[in-house]
Structure 1
Amino acid sequence: MQVMSSVEAQNRFGQLIDAAQREPVGITRRGRPVAYIVSAQEMEELLEARRLRGDAQESAHRRWADACADGWNALHDNIGSFADEHSTL
């Protein structure tokens, strides 16, 4: 991955855009990374991967919540049955 300073990026913006079409370009300020420039295609792929990851997490949370609800429902049914069997009224 190519890396350049923010001043260099300003001075060579056209070259920066060309380089980003081939690979991500890191931008530094005072020697520390502050940004990455990527091609439009790479950005679309990153956004799609993020969306898919979010969908997968949401699905996992939904399955977990359903499993918890099923467990509570089963527990409630068992307690209700136990209470019915042992009721003295």
Structure 2
Amino acid sequence: MITVTSVEAQNRFGQLLDKAQREPIIITRHGRPAAYMISPQDMNELQEARARGDTQGKAQRDWARASAEAWNEFDSKFGSFADEHSTL
């Protein structure tokens, strides 16, 4: 993936349109992703996956939600184990 700033994207828009046909482009603002430029084919694939319900993505989201709920319940009962050595 190519990463460019929003200013670069403005200055090189035509060139980036051509490159987006081959690979996605990340457009950043203040060092963070602000937008993606992708080909129409990639967009169609994303829309089709969303229309199918993206069962794998849904399963991952459900797992993440269940994990977060379990952790929140544990944390409310026992408190956090984070200390000065924790990477949390």
TM bin (shorter chain): 0.5 to 0.7
Match of 2:14 in 1: 14
In structure 1, stretches of 5+ residues that fail to align are 57-89
**How high is the sequence identity, in percent, across the aligned residues?**
62
Query: 1:27 aligns to what?
Result: 27
What's the TM-score, normalizing by structure 1?
Answer: 0.59
Aligned residues: 55
Gapped regions of structure 2 (runs ≥ 5)? 56-88
Q: Partners in 1 of 2:26 and 2:18 — Cα distance?
A: 14
Q: Work out which of the two has the higher radius of gyration on C-alpha atoms and give 1 or 2.
A: 1
- Relative to its length, the structure with more helix (as a share) is 1
**CA deviation string 1:42-70 (max 9, x = no partner):** 1011000000016x6xxxxxxxxxxxxxx
Q: How large is the Cα RMSD of the aligned pairs?
A: 1.2
Relative to the length of structure 2, the TM-score reads: 0.59
